[in-house]
Amino acid sequence: MNGKRENRIDKIVSDLLRGRRLKLRGGDAEEKGAITAAARLAAARQGSQRMHPAFRKSLASLLEQEPKQDRVTRRAALVAGLGLAAGVAGGTLLGRATQPGIMPVAGATIDPVNGRWIDVAAMSDLVEGQGKRVKAGGVGAFLFRRGQTVTAVSSICSHLPCELWWDRSNTHLACPCHPASFHPDGKPTDGYALPALNPVQVRVTTAGRIEVLGTE
Amino acid sequence: MTSEEPASEPGQVLQLPTSARATDIALDELELVYAFIYARVGNRADAQDLTQQVALKAIPRLREGAPASAIRGYLFATARSVLGAFWSTRLGLSESELREDLAMPIALGPPSEEGTETVQQILAQLSDNYRRVLELRFLHGYSLKEVASEMKSTVGAIKVMQLRALRAAAKVRPE
């Protein structure tokens, strides 16, 4: 591990110097000092920053629209979305979830009330090792084939409610909203300790069709 | 743990809900927050996300007509809290483990070269080699190969030196 740290840190440095987001893993914690120093140095290279005009405009819109919304609904939406990312009650929820020794809770299997089996694909449509996105009414899922077995996980990120996409080159499910990604079995790929994706119920018929337990 | 919320102080009340000017005031304060956050995360995408989170958390307080004197303090306290959650989530650490890193000064004026000055102070306290490798890599944007050539060394050795220099920089406490 020690011999690779300089490579890992250089990858983080290179990303920062290209203006990319910080994509860190749990193991990076041992170098937190070096990483936070790298972030400050990368910022110093750019000098003091002002908001991009488009971003400032979006913030203005946010500030001005808020009073017109129903407060309870809006607040609930914020808690479900960005409020969660900010950390409800000062980031305590996410902070606690990432403490060593506290594992995230795996998502419950999606079991819709009055669910029904929906035909979504043929076995031959699936490529071994590649995810395929399907919709079973109101349930979105990614299917994965391994031999004659098919598994499915929710297509909604467990962190923010964004639709995941299949990153073919990295063979994982990636979130478009934040740097979160998941293995085909739904577990997070790195040490962010996010909850696993919700499993989706799936079955293969004798005719080689794949059905997902979804909704009308 | 809850967000740090400075006690309200008597002062002028901002009429935010109906006043476009109040929005401008809030945005100007958020400019400071953005610069503060950017200087610590080093990239625009994360800085925007975190600034938006600060704004979202602060909206109820802004709407309640908090005293002007408390707005900035509240925004920066929120920014610290949001930054703490950011680092703890990214690194898998509790916020208490990051407490020392979060003991950051609050900018009291318009966006300045605060971050740049701090970095110069840090670099000045490093050994010549460490300072040189960080200056070339970060401030001049050299690739590892270019740094190696400039310092008459190998890419592998420069990579190790970069890591050690960053560790050393992390230990420096600017004045």
A163-209 pLDDT, tens digit each: 898 988 778 898 877 767 888 999 887 644 567 899 999 998 888 89
Residue type, A186: G
Report the DSSP beta bridge partners of residue A153. A142, A199
Mean of pLDDT values over A60-83: 49
User: What mean pLDDT is reported for chain B?
Assistant: 77
Q: Does A147 or A81 have the greater pLDDT score?
A: A147
Model confidence at A93, pLDDT cuts 50, 70, 90, reads very low
From B159's Cα to the closest Cα of chain A, the distance in A is 6
Going by C-beta distance under 8 Å and a sequence separation of 6 or more, which residues neighbour residue A177?
A157, A159, A160, A162
Same domain, B28 and B76: yes
Q: Which of B39, B72, B98 marks a domain boundary?
A: B98
Mean of pLDDT values over B27-39: 89
From the list A86, A162, A65, the residue with the least C-alpha distance to B52 is A86
Same domain, B24 and B87: yes
Q: Show which of residues 83-102 on chain A sit within 8 Å of chain B, judged by CB atoms.
A: 83, 85-87, 89-92, 94-96, 98-100
Contact A202, A180 (CB under 8 A): no
Region of residue A91 (phi > 0: left; psi between -120 and 50: alpha; otherwise: beta): left
Its domain, for residue B29, covers 20-98
Q: CB contact, 8 Å: A66 with chain B? A: yes
Phi, psi of A152 (to 5 degrees): -145, 140
* B8 part of a folded domain: no
Convert the pLDDT of each residue in A121-147 to its tens digit. Answer: 999 999 988 999 999 999 999 999 988
pLDDT reading at A76 higher than 60: no
Q: Where are the domains of chain A?
A: 2-46, 116-214
Convert the pLDDT of each residue in B120-163 to its tens digit. Answer: 888 999 999 999 999 999 988 899 999 999 999 999 999 999 99
Calpha distance B15→B175 (Å, rounded): 39
Going by C-beta distance under 8 Å and a sequence separation of 6 or more, which residues neighbour residue B50?
B37, B41, B79, B82, B83, B86
pLDDT reading at A111 higher than 50: yes
Query: Do the Cβ atoms of B35 and A6 come within 8 Å?
Result: no
Q: Is the ipTM of this complex over 0.95?
A: no
For residue A83 the two structure tokens come to 């409020």
Q: Show which of residues 58-117 on chain B sit within 8 Å of chain A, judged by CB atoms.
A: 59, 62-63, 81-82, 84-95, 98, 101, 111-116
User: What pLDDT is stored for residue A148 in this prediction?
Assistant: 84
* B153 part of a folded domain: yes
| E strands, chain A, in order | 116-122, 132-136, 139-146, 149-154, 165-167, 172-174, 181-182, 202-204, 209-214
pLDDT reading at B25 higher than 90: no
pLDDT reading at B172 higher than 70: yes
Assess if CATH 2.102.10.10 describes domain A116-214: yes
Calpha distance B175→B118 (Å, rounded): 8
User: What pLDDT is stored for residue B67 in this prediction?
Assistant: 63
CATH code of the domain containing B47: 1.10.1740
Same domain, B85 and B118: no
User: What pLDDT is stored for residue B65 in this prediction?
Assistant: 60
> Taking CA A37 as the corner, what is the angle to CA B85 and CA B168, rounded to the nearest 5 degrees?
130
Lowest mean pLDDT among A120-134, B74-88, B156-170: B74-88
Contact B75, A8 (CB under 8 A): no
* B15 part of a folded domain: no
From B173's Cα to the closest Cα of chain A, the distance in A is 11
Contacts of B4 in chain A (CB under 8 A): 90
Mean of pLDDT values over A87-108: 38
For residue A127 the two structure tokens come to 């490529």
Convert the pLDDT of each residue in A18-44 to its tens digit. Answer: 888 888 876 788 888 899 899 989 988
Q: Does A97 or B50 have the greater pLDDT score?
A: B50
Please count the structural domains in chain B. 2
Query: Do the Cβ atoms of A59 and B55 come within 8 Å?
Result: yes
Same domain, B120 and B167: yes
For residue A166 the two structure tokens come to 């299949």
